[in-house]
């Protein structure tokens, strides 16, 4: 097609088609027809070289990120805002270089930088870095699909193991009381809600009053991590607490301006955790506590999994850890008095203080009688 003009632009535009790649269009950013023709010929020649494998694509990293956000993330991902922040951080580290300059070695350098440059309070975990690498890997895969890059440097990177990141953190009853007492009223209601529902931070802050069914004691999570709505049962105490809460917006834990950001609660929560002496306790650990408490009360993993909104019980296994005291109570439920029923008695061993079990059977009785007859 060559170059052409559009009514909504003062510049010349180019358009050409490659076999199995589709049509390529764009602005030449010039109103000079001769210069526009030269740009068009250059673009077509470059694309043909890339298409036939003579040359790698020459795409700026920032443009690849921009295309990913506009063509994919914003249209199909609920987490696109957090993706945008991660891509901005990656651009800040790598600079606006061409995609072919991002090598596996540079990706490893970024991972090392992230591991050592987190804040002292909120140290970046390996799981966080893995999520960033997964996003970058997907961006390059889409770039290859769109013909904007030839290789994926992240595909050669082995992700960190996250086994050590699985926190086994929950609270004893007296610790929960200390935490709630240390919280200011608004934060106390938020924490109490999390302790009694196990809902994620975002799910709680997105909760609207219209999603609360007081009659049936249910709350509806409209946008869960699994991508579909789910219902969460709430107990009587939490129901009564919600009825007494002030209504300041459409959101249960919102502000007069609308949905609240967690930054509103972060400082009061962290201060309460410190005052209560709970050490490194995060808001998400309230979800761990909810699941752990249910398991320690004898609730089966399938039910706990459904309450947490997990598709399978595999993720719920990490919440099934029990306290040592609960384990001791569990083994005490085993049948008692088996040795008595078996005809055994506990007697001291001659010349030793350590007791042993001695079978009071026929053989033992005959041996003892033989000793007395000597």
What are 111-158's pLDDT values in tens digits? Answer: 998 888 755 445 678 888 999 999 999 999 998 888 888 889 999 899
- Take residue 219 and report the two structure tokens written for it: 């709350």
pLDDT of residue 324: 58
Contacts of 250 (CB under 8 A, 6+ apart): 208, 209, 210, 258
Q: How many helices (H) and strands (E) does the chain have?
A: 16, 8
Q: In this model, does residue 343 exceed pLDDT 70?
A: no
How many C-beta neighbours within 10 Å does residue 137 have? 17
> Which long-range contacts does 100-104 make (Cβ < 8 Å, 24+ apart)?
100/56, 100/57, 100/58, 100/149, 100/150, 100/151, 101/61, 102/61, 102/140, 102/153, 103/153, 104/153, 104/154, 104/156, 104/157
Q: In this model, does residue 246 exceed pLDDT 60?
A: yes
State the pairing for strand pair 218-221/212-213: antiparallel
Q: In this model, does residue 357 exceed pLDDT 50?
A: no
pTM over 0.85: no
pLDDT of residue 39: 86
pLDDT tens digits, one per residue of 247-284: 999 999 999 999 988 889 999 999 999 999 998 899 98
Work out the percent of the chain whose per-residue pLDDT is above 70. Answer: 78
* Cα–Cα distance, 260 to 206 (Å, whole number): 8
∠ CA 78-81-82 to the nearest 5 degrees?
95
pLDDT tens digits, one per residue of 10-49: 898 888 887 766 787 888 888 999 898 888 888 787 777 6
Q: In this model, does residue 373 exceed pLDDT 50?
A: yes
- Take residue 277 and report the two structure tokens written for it: 């002496």
Q: Report H helices in 245-337.
A: 263-275, 285-296, 301-308, 324-331
- Take residue 107 and report the two structure tokens written for it: 């990706």
Which residues share a beta bridge with 244? none
pLDDT tens digits, one per residue of 65-82: 999 999 898 888 877 888
How many C-beta neighbours within 10 Å does residue 207 have? 25
Q: In this model, does residue 55 exceed pLDDT 60?
A: no
| pLDDT (mean) for 91-107 | 90
Which among 302, 309, 306, 142 is positioned nearest to 223, based on CA atoms? Answer: 309
Q: Distance between alpha carbon 296 and the CA centroid of its chain, in Å? A: 24
Confidence of residue 244 (pLDDT cuts 50, 70, 90): very high
Confidence of residue 193 (pLDDT cuts 50, 70, 90): very high
Q: In this model, does residue 364 exceed pLDDT 60?
A: no
Q: What is the mean pLDDT of the chain?
A: 81
Q: In this model, does residue 339 exceed pLDDT 80?
A: no
* Cα–Cα distance, 143 to 155 (Å, whole number): 13
């Amino acid at each position: 097609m060559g170059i052409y003009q559009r009514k909504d632009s003062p510049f010349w535009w180019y358009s050409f088609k490659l076999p199995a790649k589709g049509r390529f269009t764009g602005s030449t950013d010039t109103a000079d027809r001769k210069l526009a023709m030269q740009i068009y010929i250059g673009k077509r020649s470059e694309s043909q070289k890339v298409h036939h494998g003579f040359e790698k694509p020459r795409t700026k990293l920032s443009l690849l990120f921009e295309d990913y956000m506009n063509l994919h993330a914003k249209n199909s991902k609920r987490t696109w805002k957090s993706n945008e922040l991660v891509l901005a951080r990656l651009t800040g580290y790598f600079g606006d270089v061409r995609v072919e300059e991002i090598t596996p070695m540079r990706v490893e350098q970024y991972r090392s930088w992230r591991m050592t440059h987190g804040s002292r309070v909120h140290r970046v975990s390996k799981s966080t870095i893995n999520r960033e690498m997964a996003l970058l890997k997907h961006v390059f895969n889409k770039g290859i699909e769109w013909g904007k890059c030839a290789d994926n440097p992240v595909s050669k990177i082995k992700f960190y193991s996250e086994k050590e990141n699985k926190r086994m953190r929950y609270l004893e009853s007296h610790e929960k009381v200390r935490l709630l007492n240390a919280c200011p009223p608004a934060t106390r209601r938020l924490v109490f809600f999390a302790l009694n529902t196990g809902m994620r931070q975002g799910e709680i802050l997105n909760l609207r009053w219209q999603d609360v069914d007081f009659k049936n004691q249910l709350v509806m999570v409209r946008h869960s991590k699994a991508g579909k709505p789910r219902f969460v049962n709430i107990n009587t105490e939490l129901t009564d607490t919600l009825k007494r809460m002030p209504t300041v917006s459409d959101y249960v834990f919102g502000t007069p301006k609308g949905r609240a950001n967690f930054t509103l609660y972060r400082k009061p929560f962290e201060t309460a955790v410190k005052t209560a002496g709970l050490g490194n306790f995060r808001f998400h650990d309230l979800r761990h506590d909810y699941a752990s408490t249910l398991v320690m009360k004898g609730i089966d993993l399938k039910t706990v999994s459904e309450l947490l909104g997990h598709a399978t019980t595999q993720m719920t296994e990490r919440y099934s850890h029990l306290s040592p005291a609960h384990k001791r109570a569990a083994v005490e439920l085993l049948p008692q008095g088996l040795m008595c029923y078996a005809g055994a008695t506990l007697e001291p061993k001659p010349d030793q203080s350590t007791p042993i079990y001695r079978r009071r059977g026929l053989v033992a009785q005959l041996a003892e009688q033989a000793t007395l007859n000597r």
